[in-house]
């Protein structure tokens, strides 16, 4: 028995699942799709732990009717998915690929036909390679390239799609892709990272403005990776390091969007961003989003580290924290993290006219990877289910304390390609047997089916 009911979350609370194009679609060479930075990266030896790639993935490109039906079967309402920029504009700009648009029209049709709401993410990391060849996110022109892509998508789908998210986790794709080189496009260093941050932050707001202009009745959001940051020690240096880490992990893209500018007081090295600012940019970074997408999996316990330039912070490895449980990703299970983040996100001061800065929060991703075993055609994923239930209890706790959290989307609908980790970590409510592409609804998915069937 869970200590809560569906009705405790309120009649309008949104339930659903989230996915991303490159992680599930496959069909990378079909119907005129262009090459993305993830195609290039996964085919470069040594980049992916298991030497795997997204060429076939879950074959969602062909199996989407059956896959979307699982969301309906679980009695959920929201189907969050992302559009692949190179499917729609194979060279990133200019020529539109009608077959790419057709595919997403079919996905949207199927979603609506099942009585679900399509929630579309515009950018979930699969930048067209042709644009990376011109500098990618480090080139300021990307704000216009991205704007062109948003124009095409909003005009094509805006009559039927009313929920939009501009970027997925900009901190993650700029830190891993342009600072540490662990994700595509594999660049390293502040000289790549800082311009990428500024241009992504500008594109985030610009995308919002284009959607507002083109889509009548749109609900516009964008999503942020987050991890509640704690200082591992009581010293002043440790607390300063935790503050700078929090600035990068939780505030770098959120605060400019909220009209608060970059969090440079908390992380002085961010003043280096000024090098890329042009007159009027600070105002252009702001956009009045209808909702904020919060995505979280773990907390960050941080200590002072004299060798990490910039934040002077180092995260204590999850395995060294004495936690009871680590997920397949090696992440500590610590459910209170989601509650503390919800409180932090909701605590921003209102705009001068009194309207709240953060109006609604949707948990646009939360979930866990654990090793799954198929037994007699079933997957008894008790650990995943407990992780989700414990996190939901913390979401409810925050909501009861007045935080405007109005939805929870599970990462993910299907097991899928987990970027540099390959296919080993399984996050799905639906198990995917990759060689046969057979699907099995896991116990966690069955739990949602029953839980959400309640009045």
Contacts of ligand IFM in 404-443 (CB under 6 A): 411, 418
Cα–Cα distance, 213 to 35 (Å, whole number): 30
In 226-257, which positions are buried (b, 16+ CB within 10 angstroms) versus exposed (e)? bbbbbbbeeeeebbbbbbbbbbbbbbbbbbbb
Q: How far apart are the first and last CA of the chain?
A: 16
- In three-state secondary structure terms, 29 is coil
Residue 290's CB is within 10 A of a number of other CB atoms, namely: 16
User: Count of CB atoms within 10 A of residue 377's CB?
Assistant: 7
- Find the Cα–Cα–Cα–Cα dihedral 407, 411, 413, 416, rounded to 10°: 160
| Phi, psi dihedral angles at 36 (to 5 degrees) | -110, 165
Q: Parallel, antiparallel, or unpaired: how do β-strands 291-296 and 361-366 relate?
A: parallel
Cβ at position 125, least distance to ligand IFM in Å: 7
How far apart are CB 223 and ligand IFM at their closest, in Å?
9
Nearest distance from C-beta of residue 169 to ligand IFM, angstroms: 6
Q: Which is nearer to ligand IFM, 250 or 295 (CB)?
A: 295
Told to check if 294 binds ligand IFM by CB under 6 A, we report no
Q: State the Cα–Cα distance between residues 16 and 46, nearest whole angstrom.
A: 35
Structure tokens at 148: 């062109």
Q: Are 292 and 222 in contact (CB under 8 A)?
A: yes
Closest CA to 388 of 341, 338, 450: 338
Which residue's beta carbon is nearest to the bound ligand IFM? Answer: 20
Nearer to ligand IFM, 366 or 394 (CB): 366
Beta strand segments in 208-290, E: 219-226, 229-231
Q: Distance between CA atoms of 63 and 148, rounded to whole angstroms? A: 29
Q: Which is closer to ligand IFM, CB of 41 or CB of 411?
A: 411
Task: Report how many residues bind ligand IFM under the rule CB under 6 A.
Answer: 7
39, 365, 381, 415: which one contacts ligand IFM (CB under 6 A)?
365
Residue 162 buriedness (CB in 10 A; 0-12 / 13-18 / 19+): middle
Q: Which amino acids are annotated catalytic?
A: 169, 365
Burial of 342 (0-12, 13-18, 19+ CB in 10 A): buried
Nearer to ligand IFM, 97 or 225 (CB): 225
Write out the binding residues for ligand IFM, residues 152-171 only, by CB under 6 A: 169
Out of 17, 42, 238, 295, the residue judged to bind ligand IFM by CB under 6 A = 295
User: Cβ 446 to ligand IFM, closest distance in Å?
Assistant: 22
Which of 9, 14, 20, 203: binder of ligand IFM (CB under 6 A)? 20
DSSP letter for 177, please.
Answer: I
Would you tell me which residues interact with ligand IFM (CB under 6 A)?
A: 20, 23, 169, 295, 365, 411, 418
């Amino acid at each position: 028995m869970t200590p809560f009911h569906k009705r405790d979350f309120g009649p309008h609370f949104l339930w659903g699942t989230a996915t991303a194009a490159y992680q599930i679609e496959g069909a990378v060479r079909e119907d005129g799709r262009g090459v993305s930075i993830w195609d290039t990266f996964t085919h470069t030896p040594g980049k992916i732990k298991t030497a795997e790639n997204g060429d076939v993935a879950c074959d969602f490109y062909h199996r989407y009717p059956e896959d979307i039906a699982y969301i309906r079967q679980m009695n959920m309402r929201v189907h969050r998915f992302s559009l692949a920029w190179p499917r729609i504009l194979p060279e990133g700009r200019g020529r539109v690929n009608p077959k790419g648009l057709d595919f997403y029209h079919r996905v949207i049709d199927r979603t609506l036909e099942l009585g679900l709401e399509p929630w579309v993410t515009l950018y979930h990391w699969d930048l067209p390679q042709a644009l990376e060849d011109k500098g990618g996110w480090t080139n300021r022109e990307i704000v216009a390239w991205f704007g062109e892509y948003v124009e095409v998508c909003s005009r094509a789908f805006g009559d039927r799609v009313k929920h939009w998210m501009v970027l997925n986790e900009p901190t993650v794709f700029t830190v891993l892709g342009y600072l540490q080189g662990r994700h595509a496009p594999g660049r390293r260093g502040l000289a790549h990272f800082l311009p990428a941050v500024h241009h992504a932050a500008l594109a985030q707001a610009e995308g919002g403005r284009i959607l507002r202009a083109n889509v009548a009745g749109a609900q516009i959001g964008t999503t942020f990776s987050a991890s509640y940051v704690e200082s591992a020690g009581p010293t002043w240096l440790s607390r300063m390091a935790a503050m700078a880490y929090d600035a990068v992990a939780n505030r770098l893209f959120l605060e400019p969007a909220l009209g608060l500018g970059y969090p440079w007081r908390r992380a002085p090295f961010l003043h280096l961003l000024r090098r890329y600012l042009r007159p009027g940019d600070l105002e252009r970074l702001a956009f009045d989003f209808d909702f904020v997408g919060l995505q979280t999996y773990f907390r960050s316990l941080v200590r002072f580290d004299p060798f990490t330039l910039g934040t002077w912070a180092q995260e204590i490895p999850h395995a060294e924290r004495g936690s009871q449980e680590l997920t397949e990703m090696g992440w500590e299970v610590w459910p209170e993290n989601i509650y503390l983040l919800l409180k932090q996100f909701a605590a921003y001061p209102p705009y001068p006219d009194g309207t709240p800065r953060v109006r609604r929060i949707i948990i646009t991703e939360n979930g866990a990877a654990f090793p799954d075993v198929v037994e007699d055609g079933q997957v008894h994923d008790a650990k995943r289910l407990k992780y989700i239930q414990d996190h939901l209890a913390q979401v409810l706790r925050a909501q009861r304390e007045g935080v405007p959290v109005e939805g929870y989307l599970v990462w993910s609908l299907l097991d899928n390609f987990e970027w540099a980790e390959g296919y080993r970590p399984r996050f799905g409510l639906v198990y995917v047997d990759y060689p046969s592409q057979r699907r099995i609804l896991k116990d966690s998915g069955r739990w949602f089916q029953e839980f959400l069937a309640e009045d």
